[in-house]
């Protein structure tokens, strides 16, 4: 289970790419994906897999800062002495907050 394998990327005939991933999620996030699949299925009037729900959710979110075209750099603001340093968040908390941002519930 600890084996790290670089996922393969496969070009599809429709111009998209397919990446097979194995991810670990808390049950609450799986339930949210199920809700998304149900919403999408009712919109599309057909059964929808969790894979399709994830793909739809990823396509419906705004592009991440790291996905900007080359040469376009985000503005960097110098650190301010008036802002206190926050302790690092545990990885589980970081993941939860990232998923909430993706789901639009943050």
| Predicted TM-score (pTM) of this structure | 0.48
User: Both ends of the chain: CA-CA distance in Å?
Assistant: 31
Distance in angstroms (rounded) separating the CA atoms of residues 51 and 33: 9
Q: What is the pLDDT of residue 38?
A: 92
Q: What is the pLDDT of residue 78?
A: 47
Angle CA(3)–CA(5)–CA(10) in degrees, nearest 5?
A: 155
Instruction: Tell me the per-residue pLDDT of 38-49, one tens digit each, with 9 for 90 and over.
Output: 999 999 999 999
């Amino acid at each position: 289970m600890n084996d790290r394998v670089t996922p393969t990327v496969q070009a599809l005939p429709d111009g998209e790419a397919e990446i097979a991933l194995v991810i670990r999620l808390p049950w609450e996030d799986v339930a949210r994906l199920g809700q998304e699949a149900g919403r999408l299925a009712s919109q599309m009037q057909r059964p929808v897999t969790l894979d399709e729900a994830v793909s739809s959710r990823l396509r419906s979110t705004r592009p991440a800062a790291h996905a900007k075209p080359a040469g376009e750099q985000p503005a960097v603001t110098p650190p301010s002495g008036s802002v206190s340093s926050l302790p690092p968040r545990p990885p589980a908390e970081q993941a939860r907050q990232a998923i909430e941002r993706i789901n639009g519930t943050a």
